[in-house]
Structure 1
């Protein structure tokens, strides 16, 4: 009873904070400067990681670029330099913890303390549970979530020491809604969102609120990783559109970025609507893509 009463006493705060949030929708938030900040981006050899590197290069940040693809990461670094930024390319296997830790030591020794960490590297296998090989499941988690722990453990202490920094988690709408034939990927992205939310809470508990956190959740992106995607939510997103939203979210210190915005609404509705209705609603999404199905119905 005492707990219910204490919650009821929070009602005035709820009203004030709700009005404040509504007001902020009409007042553009000032973008912070990232000039001179050391920005490390994993998976920077292609796609979202590469385009994000270009945007930070335009803002005169110092780029530390990681990718397993040597040719791709060197191309990204060369373009960042052409845009006027200092860029350092490292060939790093984000599925390998020791490779991450060793590369982090080199970065700190040769370049300095990273102040913006963007955990972007990811892998995806489009297959049902039975067609997904055990090593593929392991690699999905090693890259999509375990690497977040290793990079954050490597670079967060310096951020916490000066109470300044930013950690960005590139997750997915698949971290909120389970999608058939993406079981390993969805599971890893559910974990990535949990990582972001818990890290945010932990930084607050340790009174290190100067270290900001941001999480990106998107619909399918036209990067070629998933073939022939289609959904009633709209065509696959273009990488440039996603990076534009991501950069705005980082520079205005948004905790969650949803692209398109309707994904946020859908995550809210999932907590309210009955399961049977949600089942029907998810069918309406009509999500399709090429996938390898290992399960065979008897007689087929």
Structure 2
């Protein structure tokens, strides 16, 4: 289980205290009360902090308003769940299953595509489908439209990890990783995006990874597939805005760190305080919030350190090396067991 005591907990604590804008309403009078009135260094620093805090908060508010408008001047509104059909790939386990159950428990129409059936007591429509095969997607898509209706929210979540070095990866390993982690996004959107464009309504959510922002040893194929998914998503956003002039289709890119699922079983964090594991529920909650607020051109990065990963990429090599060692990514895959477990499950399904 993820540690309770982590930098994320500290940041949440600070965000509701000294980083909250109301804190300045207490701090400034307190300075005057203890004898540091206008003109003193402490009082001036307090005013400077207040100004900085309000500037940051205003910037965050404007950014949120921009995203709620879809990033393209669309109408800000909350979602009407009665009008939505949510399709989730890889929804039989991990983040996908948690998200599907969190939506289904609220009586929201959910459709799951996976190579194995969904094991849940909730009312979730489940279809056996190899999302890496466009022909199989087309077959299942016809059934979905007949049984449920046209999906309006797509969550491209299906993913696998092999966990081998470049030298040990086979051609089949690499192709399978790219097919599931990247090409499935392409084929799913090729199938369902035309309906969204026709109605100018929908939400496309891409599950990438922190590993799509910063690479590590023994996951070259996984990192490449997640980076490809991220780039494809951002190109999709540009086309929706500049080619299709769509104001009703929202997009969200999700880049989580290691999540407490079976995908990276056995992997250990060197300093879990700084790089905590996130739970599938935390990721699902962030995604649902983005759905409900109809956020567009939105990016979800968690835990806290994930927000700084893109900055590391532009730093000198020694900084990147230090970040790799501190995060434990240099030797993390030495204890990896997920590949064997996934292969066992795949053979069982076949």
Shorter chain as denominator, the TM-score bin is 0.7 to 0.9
2:108 counterpart of 1:61: yes
What residue in structure 2 maps to residue 219 of structure 1?
Answer: 257
Give the Cα separation in 2 of the matches to 1:270 and 1:51: 31
2:188 counterpart of 1:143: no
Give the Cα separation in 1 of the matches to 2:161 and 2:300: 21
Gaps of 5+ in 1: 1-16, 82-86, 293-300
2:145 counterpart of 1:102: no
What residue in structure 2 maps to residue 191 of structure 1?
Answer: 228
TM-score (ref. length: structure 1): 0.81
TM superposition shift of 1:131? 1.7
Would the aligned equivalents of 2:216 and 2:324 in 1 still touch at CA under 8 Å? no
Give the Cα separation in 2 of the matches to 1:25 and 1:213: 15
Equivalent residue pairs, number = 264
TM superposition shift of 1:96? 1.7
SS in 1 for 2:81: coil
TM-score (ref. length: structure 2): 0.70
Greater than 6 Å deviation, 4+ residue runs: none
Please say which of residues 42-51 and 250-259 is displaced more in the overlay. 250-259
Would the aligned equivalents of 1:122 and 1:143 in 2 still touch at CA under 8 Å? yes
CA RMSD of superposed structures (Å): 2.3
Q: 1 or 2 for the larger relative contact order (CA 8 Å, sep ≥6)?
A: 2
What residue in structure 1 maps to residue 33 of structure 2?
Answer: none
TM superposition shift of 1:35? 2.9
2:285 counterpart of 1:241: no
Give the Cα separation in 1 of the matches to 2:304 and 2:63: 13
Gaps of 5+ in 2: 1-54, 69-76, 338-350
CA offset digits 1:121-172 (Å, max 9, x no partner)? 1111111012222211111111111011111011111111111001111110
1:31 and 1:80, CA in 2 relative to 1: closer, same or farther beyond 3 A? Answer: farther
Give the Cα separation in 1 of the matches to 2:137 and 2:61: 43
1:243 and 1:118, CA in 2 relative to 1: closer, same or farther beyond 3 A? Answer: same
What residue in structure 1 maps to residue 313 of structure 2?
Answer: 270
What residue in structure 2 maps to residue 279 of structure 1?
Answer: 321
Would the aligned equivalents of 1:53 and 1:63 in 2 still touch at CA under 8 Å? yes
Q: Name which of 11, 35, 42 aligns with 2:82.
A: 35
TM superposition shift of 1:178? 0.5
1:21 and 1:32, CA in 2 relative to 1: closer, same or farther beyond 3 A? Answer: farther
What residue in structure 2 maps to residue 175 of structure 1?
Answer: 212
Pairs within 5 Å for 1:62-101:
62-70=109-117, 73=118, 75-76=119-120, 79-81=121-123, 87-101=124-138
SS in 1 for 2:122: helix
SS in 2 for 1:35: helix
